[in-house]
Chain A
């Protein structure tokens, strides 16, 4: 376990330093620290996968040489961050310093829910060491290939049968394989620890992000809703890549929300958002759709600034700059190594157009995804709707969470389109994937909701500034 923790130390220092210096000095240091640690954790896992993939794709695979080269690389990156990465500054007073007389109840509920969630996760992760079927037949199998045959893995990966999805990007397998490579021991602990770390990073980022942009109680409420979502816990215990993907979606959306709210002249936030969007695309194919949507929206925002406000927006270019490292890695993987996607096999113009205009399919899709939406988090949407109605919208918070909501809606439309064009049995395809798709978007949707609704401090009074 100690070796595993040490193996993640290097990228964690880089990731948390990057996150720490990206956030302006606003909010309590505790929340800023939590933000830097949790965003840094997700960045660390992504960065580690990137370095390992590049190493694995190059000739020569000596373990000690990898450790030295990677350490040197991370040391250089740390130096660059310290000297070149500019922290946006602000003297604005954010409402995150407010507390209400009811805060203690929310904190107590948060602690209780956290204990329940951790014990449930501990049970799941310590029981099924290999995870559920998709974990071992896709992610952990690819990780074993990367680790066990350092020279032939590209051809072996491409030759895997379709049930193993050899076209899936390698963030999660490369992260796990890197842990094995660094510790020198292939075990089932690494994938379980990685699954747990992504869960913790997602909860922590949602908690601290909403706490920083709104109030600590609001952050706790958002984290509570996420932690009690059974499917979010289940897919973490199952070691599926949907939770890591949800983390990168959340990180990107949060950073772009911050960019819209803080509008700093420093480009560190959009660069980091580009990096996390690139990591999302390097996690799963759905991440590529997310990347396209984020790119499109950033482009439209930049064009709007240019045409309407006559201001040049450099943030779009910064976003592109940020996504370059993982965009290049993904491009190389898809172009040179990956097998074609199962969704494109046996597709031709005739079958394609017949599916596009098949209204019966559309009806089925809308029906199934609506039922699954109602089922999400044991009817959490109804509860949140009622809560939003009772508490009302945030005062002076116009625009908060809007960007993320647009992304979530566009992603849902994209998923529906993929179902519409799917060559597989439609009912089965939806049945086996729709819950996972919702889990990917759920943390971002919760963030958008809690940025939008009033914080308890605003409605219950007794607001004090600490």
Chain B
């Protein structure tokens, strides 16, 4: 801010520099036309873009209906009945049946989100193993020969097993 367009003022013990409005020269005809053009262009593009975004939000949502419904179901009901059986502390082994294509699949992560603060771990070998599978197929739990006890069957493919000590 230069001295020409600024002034100092004392008020309530504070010194403030504020810009003083410089007289605004009248814009030329060409300047007005260009500004008018720019404004029309900007506003029409913005309204069009807002409309297209609004329409696309509904017609092409980022997540499919199926995925959204699955998340909601998993959070509210899929693991609901097994929660009371999970240990309050310590790692709980997590398996998927059939095994997920990726070690860090979305289902595993979402299960951790739903069940936190229970610590799920794909490498943990017991004593508790949570299987996120299918209702009509009993999974095989690796136990290195130790007895496996089904603690809870949620009926929807979620089963909690305990591997007993020898």
Q: Beyond A161-B104, A163-B109, A383-B41, is A262–B27 a contact (Cβ under 8 Å)?
A: no
CB distance from B79 to the nearest CB of A (A): 13
Asked whether any CB of chain A lies closer than 8 Å to the CB of B62, the reply is yes
When distances are taken between beta carbons in the complex, the residues of chain B under 8 Å from A120 are: 53-54, 57
B129 CB → nearest A CB, Å: 18
Taken together as a complex, chains A and B put the C-alpha atoms of A391 and B20 apart, in Å, by 23
Known interface pairs A137-B109, A387-B42; A91-B34 also in contact (CB < 8 Å) = no
A-side contacts of B84, CB under 8 Å = none
Q: How far is the CA of A451 from the CA of B61 in the complex (A)?
A: 35
Partner of B26, one of A93, A262, A396, A461: A461
Interface size range on A against B: 35 or more
How many angstroms from the CA of A175 to the CA of B63 in the assembled complex?
25
Which of B21, B49, B56, B104 meets A94, CB within 8 Å? B21
> Is A456 an interface residue, CB under 8 A from the partner?
yes
Q: Quick check: B104 and A163 within 8 Å, CB to CB?
A: yes
Chain A positions within 8 Å of B57 at CB level: 120, 123-124, 233, 237
Q: Are B19 and A92 in contact (CB under 8 A)?
A: yes
Q: Is the CB of A262 within 8 A of B47?
A: no
When the two chains form the complex, which single residue of A24, A136, A153, A386 contacts B113, counting CB atoms closer than 8 Å?
A136
A262 to B36, CA, bound (A): 31
Contact B110 A224 (CB under 8 A): no
Q: Does B143 contact A (CB under 8 A)?
A: no
User: What string of 1s and 0s marks CB contacts (under 8 Å) between B2-19 and chain A?
Assistant: 000101010110111111
Inter-chain contacts of B21 with A (CB < 8 A)? 92-95
Q: Is A193 an interface residue (CB 8 A)?
A: no
Measured in the bound complex, the distance between the Cα atoms of B9 and A120 in whole Å is 48
Q: Is residue A159 within 8 Å, beta carbon to beta carbon, of the partner chain?
A: yes
Q: Which residues does chain A contribute within 8 Å of B58, judged by CB atoms?
A: 123
* Known contacts A106-B43, A141-B113, A145-B116, A463 near B9 by CB under 8 Å: no
* Main secondary structure on B side of the interface with A: helix
> Complex: how many Å from CA A97 to CA B61?
42
Q: Which residues of B contact A390 (CB under 8 A)?
A: 34-35, 37-38, 41
Given the complex of chains A and B, what is the CA–CA distance between A461 and B36 in angstroms?
11
A393 CB, min distance to chain B CBs, angstroms: 12
Q: Does A88 reach chain B (CB closer than 8 Å)?
A: yes
CB–CB A459/B53 < 8 A:
no
Binary CB contact string for chain B from 96 to 123 against chain A (1 if under 8 A, 0 otherwise) = 0000000010100110110011010000
CA distance A117 to B104 in the complex (A): 35
CB contacts between A and B, total, < 8 Å: 197
A265 engages B117 (CB within 8 Å): no
Q: Which of A57-65, A127-135, A203-211 contacts B (4 or more CB under 8 A)?
A: A127-135
Closest CB in chain B relative to A394 CB, distance in Å: 11
Q: Which of A83-112 contact B (CB under 8 A)?
A: 86, 88-95, 102, 105-106, 109, 112
Q: Is the Cβ of B63 less than 8 Å from the Cβ of A132?
A: yes
CA distance A163 to B103 in the complex (A): 11
The size class of the interface chain B forms with chain A is 35 or more
Chain A residue at smallest Cβ distance from B65: A127
Contact of A92 among B18, B26, B27, B116 (CB under 8 A): B18
Q: Which residue of chain B lies nearest to A113 when distances are taken between CB atoms in the complex?
A: B50
Q: A149–B32 Cα gap in the complex (Å)?
A: 63
In contact, B14 and A265 (Cβ under 8 angstroms) = yes
Does A178 sit at the interface, judged by CB under 8 A? Answer: no
Residues on the B chain within 8 Å of A378, using CB: 49
B145: Cβ under 8 A from any A Cβ: no
Residues of B within 8 A of A164 (CB): 109, 112
Cα–Cα distance between A228 and B52 once the two chains are bound (Å)? 9
A141: which B residues are within 8 A, CB to CB? 112-113, 116
Q: Which of A119, A149, A227, A262 contacts B17 (CB 8 A)?
A: A262
What residues make up the interface of B, taking CB atoms closer than 8 Å to A?
1, 5, 7, 9, 11-12, 14-22, 24-27, 31-32, 34-39, 41-43, 45-47, 49-51, 53-54, 56-58, 61-63, 68, 71-72, 75, 89, 104, 106, 109-110, 112-113, 116-117, 119
Q: Which 4 residue pairs of A and B lie closest in terms of their CB atoms, listed nearest first?
A: A92-B18, A459-B35, A390-B38, A116-B50
Can you name 9 A-B residue pairings with CB atoms under 8 Å?
A86-B12, A137-B110, A152-B117, A238-B62, A262-B18, A387-B38, A396-B19, A459-B31, A460-B35
